[in-house]
Structure 1
Amino acid sequence: MSYRRIWLRTRSAGFKRAIASALFALAAAFLGSHDIARADEAAWEHLKNGGIVLFRHTLAPGTGDPDNFTLGDCSTQRNLNETGRQDARKIGQAFRDRGIAVGDVLTSQWCRCVDTAELAFPGQVTEQPAFNSFFQNRAKGPEQTDAARDLLSNWSGEGALVVVTHQVNITALTNIFPTSGEGIVINIHDGEIGVVGRIQL
């Protein structure tokens, strides 16, 4: 067999493998997107029946808090940018579009969380220190997470419970690292938290 024929066969085989790999990747992505869609629908359905959702505040550029951070003084904190404000309004609109009644809205006292909650659900917001960030003081994490879990376990109002908090808090409760504005829908039994699905607008 000539070197040219061997090269052509090798090239053809490589091309076929590349096509097969590409088709496999597309199929996996397609199936994955359907799995995500099903998870999202399950999450929304759960909220219609009075479920609980933990939202990370919407986009506030930066990481952590400035050195001069002062609770109650938004000028010393990271705050939502315009995208973050728009996304917060979209969260509230998504609930209204789906006819989901909101029983209560609890939020961290950090301005970026309070603003996310107020823009999404104006006039329904209650500040709850158990959902404050412990990013700068990780030693407080276990105690604060226990307090948050107790609040979630004991909630029994009508409609969905919406919590607006921080990545570290949500990760401690669910082992999920949410993106800005993402909601993690949960159920909780005997203090054990289960994840129903994720909401990304």
Structure 2
Amino acid sequence: MHPVNTSIALFLGLGIVGAVTPVFSATMRVPVEPASFGSGAIVGLPVESDGWLLSQGGEGGEAAGKVEEMSAGEKANAAFVNRLGSQQLLAALRSGGNIIYFRHAQTTKDYADQADPKMSLASCETQRKLSAAGIEQSREIGKAFQTLKIPVGTVHSSQYCRAWQTADLAFGRHQQSAKLNFLPFEDYTDAQMAEMKANLLPFLTAPPRPGTNTVVVGHDDLFEAATGIYPDPQGIAYVLTPDGKGGFTVQASLKPDQWASL
């Protein structure tokens, strides 16, 4: 488990039920839980969460078979509410200007292979592999993008086989970057989480080429480090819009089978 510092910035109108809608800048404001307040309630005080337990590092938490309380990042993922309806989201994607962050598609097993001393980035045989379902997920996502006429510019991926293979199967190309890799640990310190956040933020804040969307295919822990949201399940995508000032707005999330229904 790894701790991360987060702050809650929820602003509610009188008598309005609040939903988590993250907007990030260089000084992050990470919503942790949805809130429902009665008339007159106003919430906006920062809350420090040193020592809170987030999801297990290295994608190792999903197959552990343990019943545990949801982490802050998992709660944020479960509580996330899209800012845009389907038609608005599709229009925004067709216009370009967004970052689409995918967690790689489904794998045969779920464990922290980055902490395995036998794992080599040069050998897919030593890493977690895409399952048959994950391969199909990737292809169907690519077909949906073509059918929906969503323009894709640069496609970034980590150096892990499951990430770049997801990118290739869906979009036919990718540019690998070590900055999108895990750090080689199963559990992370605050400093390591901060390092992963610093590695990922440039990908989430750089405006795409005009008329295109940038795709980033990576992993769970980096996205959680940068946004406070643990991306689940495998294959989920979050759509973010950079503001051109080093920040971004998280607009929507889509599970692998939801692209075709946009």
Once the two structures are superposed, residues 89-138 of structure 1 have per-residue CA deviations (whole angstroms, 9 ceiling, x without a partner) of 1111111111011011000100100110010011x210011111237263
Q: Which residue of 2 aligns with 1:8?
A: none
- The answer as to 2:200 corresponding to 1:151 is no
Structure possessing the higher radius of gyration over alpha carbons: 1
- The answer as to 2:224 corresponding to 1:171 is yes
Q: Which residue of 2 aligns with 1:103?
A: 153
Deviation at 1:157, TM superposition (A): 1.4
Distance 1:188 1:62, change over 3 A: same
- Preserved contact between residue 48 and residue 100 of structure 1 (Cα < 8 Å): yes
Distance 1:41 1:183, change over 3 A: farther
Q: Which residue of 1 aligns with 2:140?
A: 90
Deviation at 1:182, TM superposition (A): 0.5
Q: Which amino acid aligns with 2:132?
A: E
Q: Percent identity?
A: 29
Quote the Cα distance in structure 1 between the aligned partners of 2:250 and 2:201.
Answer: 14
- The answer as to 2:99 corresponding to 1:46 is no
- Preserved contact between residue 140 and residue 170 of structure 2 (Cα < 8 Å): yes
Q: Which residue of 1 aligns with 2:78?
A: none
Quote the Cα distance in structure 1 between the aligned partners of 2:85 and 2:174.
Answer: 27
- Preserved contact between residue 203 and residue 216 of structure 2 (Cα < 8 Å): no
Q: Which residue of 2 aligns with 1:9?
A: none
Once the two structures are superposed, residues 56-96 of structure 1 have per-residue CA deviations (whole angstroms, 9 ceiling, x without a partner) of 00011212104411112101100101001000111111111
Distance 1:41 1:195, change over 3 A: farther
TM-score by length of 1: 0.74
- Preserved contact between residue 54 and residue 185 of structure 1 (Cα < 8 Å): yes
Distance 1:41 1:76, change over 3 A: farther
Q: For structure 1, list consecutive stretches of 5 or more residues without a partner in the other structure.
A: 1-34
Quote the Cα distance in structure 1 between the aligned partners of 2:177 and 2:192.
Answer: 15
Distance 1:40 1:56, change over 3 A: farther
- Work out which of the residue numbers 183, 196, 201 in structure 2 matches 1:134: 183
Higher strand share: 1
Quote the Cα distance in structure 2 between the aligned partners of 1:104 and 1:86.
Answer: 22
Once the two structures are superposed, residues 157-201 of structure 1 have per-residue CA deviations (whole angstroms, 9 ceiling, x without a partner) of 131100000011111222222211010001122222321001112
Higher helix share: 1
Bigger Cα displacement from structure 2, 108-117 vs 132-141: 132-141
Q: For structure 2, list consecutive stretches of 5 or more residues without a partner in the other structure.
A: 1-80, 258-262
Distance 1:135 1:184, change over 3 A: farther
Q: Which residue of 2 aligns with 1:185?
A: 239
Quote the Cα distance in structure 2 between the aligned partners of 1:85 and 1:150.
Answer: 28
TM-score by length of 2: 0.58
